[in-house]
DNA sequence: GCCGTTTTCGGCCCGACTGTTTTCAGTCG
């Protein structure tokens, strides 16, 4: 059984336990186990057979037993029985914002509601408002949330790049508000998750209440959801929800930390702080004995007070970052300035939007030492893939450009298509003439897992292939990743010294964070490429860096941080 | 259900906002 299926079942159990009214901590235990498995670099199947399940943080006797049953029989009695206690679909109700387990259960018990359509009807005929602790206003709020939920369904989360751009525009507008001092994205946006549900902004102001009033008047803001003296929730023009929280100036460090999360990270941080006699909140750190509150303007000082190294936002996921921070053993995460070159670009020789020389100029502007030209192979007719003849011509042009530009080395290359049968689109003797070969899948994405895995491994095993491009083929919000045995691909990459790409194109971010984490643990070499089709797109590198940091990458894990000579030496051929 | 500088039981992060209540439950992050 795949880890993703196991994660889904554990998460479902957590929801059902909440519905059942079981201890919230029991539910949380299942969630924690699910999150741990998400970051696991091994299959749960394997851990079961080796009796190593309890090495997973958050897995104790009870969950280990359930995982064993699940993996060996494909079935979990406990889960099936739990599911049978509720009308199927009741968890759908909880997807509506404002409906939690108590309300969902109330609706089901009192009115027999287990789907959104019946809920809507029950609100309209007044039944919901009559329930205990409900009222007309609550009922109407739920109705409003249902409408928003339907409108947004399917496109609820946006790529991190979309959210980041929107947040930057909004923050620019906010600089005009008097008295706002610090301002930063927080939440999943600051942690750089690949997709974002809503934007959290955290700031400080001389007079938060006045600043909130000014904020809700800004041109970007379309609809007010709720507001109080220190916070406001709004919908901005592109449909995204923004939650703003403003505090007094001296609390910025603690507030930024608090609202950056993740939830799991904060729970672990607070539990640990309590053992030290400290209580954490957005306002600072309170000594439990004296009741004295200390405030922190910087996050660094906030962590330091707890005896911890500064933990970068991207790895605050409750994995084992706090333990490592305690021992000053956190990785030194890669930064944008570490990147020395970009190895995946397209010019107007294939489907790029700019002449080759303009792309080179763009790379120079980034300050890169080297760049690889990787137009498409012939099979990709739709992208004007290069014929063998044109490959020869381009090779000549590249050697001319190398003579012309002394500040940057231009590698010849190609993004060669992996055909449905696993063969490459260009003969080996031609590939042998190129410095860098990226192999990627662009068609036949719906093959079964076995065929797809074989196909990709066959490309990865080719001695001329240096890099596997956008390995899983996902497009955020548009197309799921192909079905592939990623661990088998990892093994092949390791065996054949093939590099895996972290594609930084905002809609791709492929490999994703957890895969990057696993690949890195296995010692697989990675590169971060923008796949630029225009000189401006070299700026996509920041997204690749963000996702690589979420995968705990240091500069040494990423080959294109190497200076030119060392990078050359690291290539296969 | 997990876990241990409170170690095999008794804890488990903390606060804002809303709407319903006369002091708080539910939800969210």
Q: For residue A64, say whether its CB is under 7 Å from any atom of strand B.
A: yes
The separation between CA A197 and the C-alpha centre of its own chain, rounded to angstroms, equals 11
The residues near A137 (Cβ < 8 Å, ≥ 6 apart) are: none
Same domain, A380 and A404: yes
Same domain, A555 and A483: yes
CATH number, domain with residue A295: 3.30.210.10
- The structural domain count of chain A equals 5
Which of A84, A103, A136 finishes a domain? A84
- A91-150 residue pLDDT tens: 888 888 888 888 888 888 888 888 888 899 999 888 898 888 888 888 988 888 888 777
Q: Please check whether residue A124 lies inside any domain of the structure.
A: yes
Polymer length in residues for chain A: 573
Q: Please check whether residue A405 lies inside any domain of the structure.
A: yes
Residues 94-113, chain A: which have Cβ under 7 A from strand B?
Answer: 94, 97-104
Instruction: Return contacts of A511-514, CB within 8 angstroms, 24+ apart.
Output: A511/A471, A511/A472, A511/A547, A511/A551, A512/A194, A512/A472, A512/A474, A512/A481, A512/A547, A513/A193, A513/A194, A513/A547, A513/A550, A513/A551, A514/A38, A514/A39, A514/A551
CATH number, domain with residue A181: 3.30.460.10
The CA distance from A328 to A321, in Å, is 10
Range of the domain at A94: 90-152
Q: For residue A91, say whether its CB is under 7 Å from any atom of strand B.
A: no
Residue nearest to nucleotide B20 (CA to C1'): A133
Same domain, A229 and A344: no
Q: For residue A291, say whether its CB is under 7 Å from any atom of strand B.
A: no
The CA distance from A51 to A523, in Å, is 24
Same domain, A365 and A504: yes
Which of A109, A129, A152 finishes a domain? A152
Same domain, A403 and A533: yes
Tokens 């590169």, located at residue = A527
Same domain, A478 and A525: yes
CATH number, domain with residue A38: 1.10.150.110
CA distances (Å), origin A60, targets A30, A35, A53, A66:
10, 14, 8, 10
Nucleic acid strand B: bases within 7 A of protein CB: 1-3, 5-6, 11-21, 25-29
Q: What is the pLDDT along chain A (573 residues), one digit of tens a residue?
A: 888 889 888 988 988 888 888 888 888 889 888 888 887 778 899 889 988 898 888 899 999 999 999 999 999 999 999 888 888 777 888 888 888 888 888 888 888 888 888 899 999 888 898 888 888 888 988 888 888 777 766 556 889 999 999 999 999 999 889 889 999 999 999 999 999 988 999 999 999 989 999 999 998 898 888 888 889 999 898 888 899 999 988 899 999 999 998 888 998 898 888 888 888 988 999 888 888 889 999 999 999 999 999 999 999 988 889 989 998 999 999 999 999 999 999 999 998 989 999 999 999 999 999 999 999 988 766 667 788 889 999 999 999 999 999 999 999 999 999 999 999 989 999 999 999 999 999 988 888 889 999 999 999 999 999 999 999 999 887 777 888 889 899 999 999 999 999 999 999 999 999 999 999 999 999 999 999 999 999 999 999 999 999 999 999 999 999 999 999 998 875
Q: For residue A33, say whether its CB is under 7 Å from any atom of strand B.
A: yes
CATH number, domain with residue A125: 1.10.150.20
Tokens 């333990």, located at residue = A323
Which of A37, A66, A84 finishes a domain? A84
Q: Please check whether residue A331 lies inside any domain of the structure.
A: no
Q: Please check whether residue A130 lies inside any domain of the structure.
A: yes
Other CB atoms within 10 Å distance of the CB of residue A411 = 21
Same domain, A13 and A103: no
Asked if A101 and A94 count as a contact pair (C-beta separation under 8 A), the reply is: yes
Q: For residue A208, say whether its CB is under 7 Å from any atom of strand B.
A: no
Q: Please check whether residue A72 lies inside any domain of the structure.
A: yes
Same domain, A64 and A136: no
Q: Please check whether residue A457 lies inside any domain of the structure.
A: yes
CATH number, domain with residue A465: 3.20.20.140
Same domain, A407 and A482: yes
Same domain, A366 and A453: yes
Asked if A363 and A342 count as a contact pair (C-beta separation under 8 A), the reply is: yes
Same domain, A242 and A109: no
Other CB atoms within 10 Å distance of the CB of residue A24 = 12
Residue nearest to nucleotide B14 (CA to C1'): A281
Q: Please check whether residue A123 lies inside any domain of the structure.
A: yes
- A423-478 residue pLDDT tens: 998 999 999 999 999 999 998 888 888 999 999 999 999 999 999 999 999 988 77
The CA distance from A496 to A95, in Å, is 45
Same domain, A543 and A428: yes
The CA distance from A386 to A400, in Å, is 19
């Amino acid at each position: 059984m795949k880890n993703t299926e196991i994660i889904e079942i554990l998460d479902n159990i957590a929801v059902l336990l909440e519905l059942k009214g079981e201890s919230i901590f029991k539910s949380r235990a299942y969630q924690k186990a699910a999150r741990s498995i998400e970051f696991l670099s091994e299959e749960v199947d394997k851990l079961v057979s080796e009796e190593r399940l309890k090495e997973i943080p958050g897995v104790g006797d009870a969950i280990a037993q359930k995982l064993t049953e699940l993996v060996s029989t494909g079935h979990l009695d406990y889960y099936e029985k739990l599911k049978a206690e509720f009308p199927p679909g009741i968890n759908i109700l909880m997807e509506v914002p404002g409906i939690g387990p108590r309300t969902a259960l109330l609706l089901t018990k009192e009115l027999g509601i287990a789907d959104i359509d019946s809920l809507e009807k029950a609100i309209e005929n007044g039944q919901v408002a009559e329930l205990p602790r409900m009222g007309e206003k609550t009922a109407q709020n739920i109705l409003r949330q249902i409408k928003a939920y339907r409108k947004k369904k399917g496109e609820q989360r946006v790529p991190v790049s979309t959210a980041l751009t929107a947040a930057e525009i909004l923050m620019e507008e906010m600089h005009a508000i008097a008295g706002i001092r610090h301002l930063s994205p927080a939440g999943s946006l600051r942690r750089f998750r690949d997709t974002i549900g809503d934007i959290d902004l955290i700031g400080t102001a001389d007079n938060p209440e006045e600043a909130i009033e000014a904020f809700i008047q800004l041109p970007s803001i379309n609809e007010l959801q709720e507001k109080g003296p220190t916070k406001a929730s709004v919908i901005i023009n592109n449909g995204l929800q923004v939650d703003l929280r403003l505090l007094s100036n001296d609390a910025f460090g603690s507030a930024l930390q608090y609202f950056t999360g993740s939830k799991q990270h904060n729970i672990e941080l607070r539990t640990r702080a309590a053992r030290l006699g400290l209580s954490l909140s957005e306002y600072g750190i309170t000594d439990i004995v004296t009741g004295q509150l200390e405030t922190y303007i910087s996050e660094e000082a906030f962590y330091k007070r707890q005896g911890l190294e500064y933990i970068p936002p991207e790895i605050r996921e409750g994995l084992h970052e706090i333990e490592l921070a305690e021992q000053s053993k956190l990785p030194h995460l890669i930064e944008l300035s570490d990147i020395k070159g970009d190895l995946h670009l397209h010019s107007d020789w294939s489907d790029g939007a700019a002449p080759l020389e303009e792309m080179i100029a763009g790379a120079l502007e980034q300050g890169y030492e080297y760049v690889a030209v990787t137009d498409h192979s012939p099979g990709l007719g739709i992208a004007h893939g290069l014929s063998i003849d044109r490959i020869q011509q381009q090779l000549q042009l590249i050697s001319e450009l190398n003579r012309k530009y002394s500040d940057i080395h231009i590698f010849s290359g190609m993004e060669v298509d992996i055909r449905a049968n696993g063969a490459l689109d260009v003969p080996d003797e031609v590939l042998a003439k190129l410095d860098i070969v990226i192999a990627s899948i662009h068609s036949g994405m719906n093959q079964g897992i076995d065929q797809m895995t074989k196909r990709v491994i066959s490309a990865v095993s080719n001695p001329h292939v240096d890099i596997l491009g956008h390995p899983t083929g996902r497009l955020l919000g548009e197309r799921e990743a192909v079905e592939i045995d990623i661990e088998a691909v990892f093994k092949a990459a390791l065996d054949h010294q093939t590099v895996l790409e972290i594609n930084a194109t905002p809609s791709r971010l492929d490999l994703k964070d957890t895969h990057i984490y696993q690949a890195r643990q296995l010692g697989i070499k990675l590169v971060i490429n923008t796949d630029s089709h225009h000189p401006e797109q070299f700026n996509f590198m920041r997204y690749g860096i963000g996702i690589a940091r979420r995968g705990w990458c240091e500069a040494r894990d990423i080959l294109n941080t190497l200076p030119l000579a060392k990078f050359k030496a690291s290539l296969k051929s």
